[in-house]
Amino acid sequence: MFDDFKTTIATQLAVLTGAPVEAITGAIGIPKTNAHGDLAVNIPSLRIKGNPVQLAKDWAEAFKVDEVITSAVSTGPYINFHINRQVLTRKVLSAIHEKQDKYGWTNEGAGKRVIVEFSSPNIAKPFHAGHLRSTIIGNLIYNLYKASGWDAISMNYLGDWGKQYGLLAVGFERFGNEEKLVADPIQHLFEVYVAISAAAKQDDSLHDEARAYFKSMEDGDEAALALWRRFRELSIVKYKDTYARLNINFDVYSGESQVGEGMTRAMAMLEECGLIVESEGAKLLDLEKYKLGRPVVKKSDGTTLYITRDIGAAIERFEAYDFDKIVYVISSQQDVHMKQFLKTISLIGLPYADRFQHVNYGMVNGMSTRNGTVIFLDDMLRESKEIMHEVMRKNEGKYAQVPDPEHVSSVLGVSAIIVQDMLARRIKDYDFDWKRILSFEGNTGPYLQYTHARLCSIERKVQDQVK
């Protein structure tokens, strides 16, 4: 929206400075302090001989202001400009009227493809609230790329493979219930996992059974895979329902289990590059010289681990999607793993290794229900809705005017959760506080929705319909 103003400034400064319009346009930014102005030119970046402070002063004094650019004042080596806010307002409203819900979209990424991998919960476990930050941040990144003209693909890389699924299968034989599985698959499988994990602490042989079961899965045993496949499919159905409540839809549901011969090729590359060392029958990735340790890539029984599957997935994804960029939205707790992964794909010489990016984030502390129990996302969404409903009921007059209070309270609750997460600095941990996030005052989701409702009310009262 500032492009027209930048062009106006650059055109006049080009005459004063002799610098190309394009160079001046590139030097125009937003001042760090609002009081300085709306736009600013960094004179040193123009690479013109002379004292940049004096040049800025001379050119600011020579700049002719008008009804569009209302002032030009030098501050050190910068020239700060104020623009006519009425002109800006007209431009913004005209653009919104013209572009409607596409206002703000650009074509900067036209012809480019990006994969954004985020959320990635573990199959057969409830969607823990700890996955919430990845989901919210990842969806924001995906939407930004899409709005910038990229061919954006949202991918959910499920944790659906490993010894824990062997343990789950062993547990289901002991504690599973078909009716409960069908009624609420994720909750029941979680209960089974908790029960078998507790039993395994008392009986080490259960871990041996779990390893043997997972080995049969990796070897392609159809009976073992059939049960695992059913767990996975039922879990995805439940996850989709949860994502729908957050207004999130994934283009691709992938997972560790979906990685095929890419793992074999990855192991071959690691061997060829001399990165593998052996220890007690297991194969380790030697990254000691990079201070990244020696992660295990294949256990002594031949089963694979996360990093092996991640490298294999990287190879297969590029061949399947030919992406220009791939973004992994994964918590800072996995920083070491991601450094090991990114270093490895570079060392084995993947020509597209520079297209990978890790976006990390801090954790949420103190996330629990009002009665203090550990919280899952479904619990959090349900509780936020109930609290919002309680608040709405306190004003009987307005409550009676709401056509669908159940839906409204649900939207308010979801808004509260999403906005409070976006307010936190991405890389920092933050404390979860029900009272703060559900407040109708300050920078909160409920207040944002209240503001929207007020604007809609104003719109309805305007005689000429605003679209």
Residues assigned a catalytic role: 125, 128, 131
Q: Where are the alpha helices (DSSP H) in 220-326?
A: 222-245, 262-272, 306-321
- The shares of helix, strand and coil residues in the chain, as percent rounded to the nearest 5, are 55, 15, 30
Amino acid symbol at 159: G
Amino acid symbol at 43: I
Tell me how crowded residue 373 is: count the other CB atoms within 10 A of its CB: 9
Spatial distance between the Cα atoms of 434 and 386, rounded to a whole number of angstroms: 12
Contacts of range 125-128, beta carbons closer than 8 Å, 24 or more positions apart: 125/186, 125/189, 125/190, 125/193, 126/186, 126/187, 126/190, 126/376, 126/377, 126/378, 127/186, 127/239, 127/242, 127/376, 127/377, 127/378, 128/376, 128/377
Query: Which residues, 6+ apart, have CB-to-CB distance to 285 below 8 Å?
Result: 270, 275, 276, 294, 295, 296, 297, 307, 340, 344
Amino acid symbol at 97: H
And the tokens for 29? 């930014």
Are the CB atoms for 51 and 66 separated by under 8 Å? Answer: no
In the DSSP assignment, the letter for residue 220 is: T
The 3-state DSSP class for residue 158 equals strand
Q: In whole angstroms, what separates CA 160 from the centre of its chain?
A: 20
In the DSSP assignment, the letter for residue 465 is: P
End-to-end CA distance of the chain: 20
Q: Residue 278 is inside which H or E element, if any?
A: strand 276-279
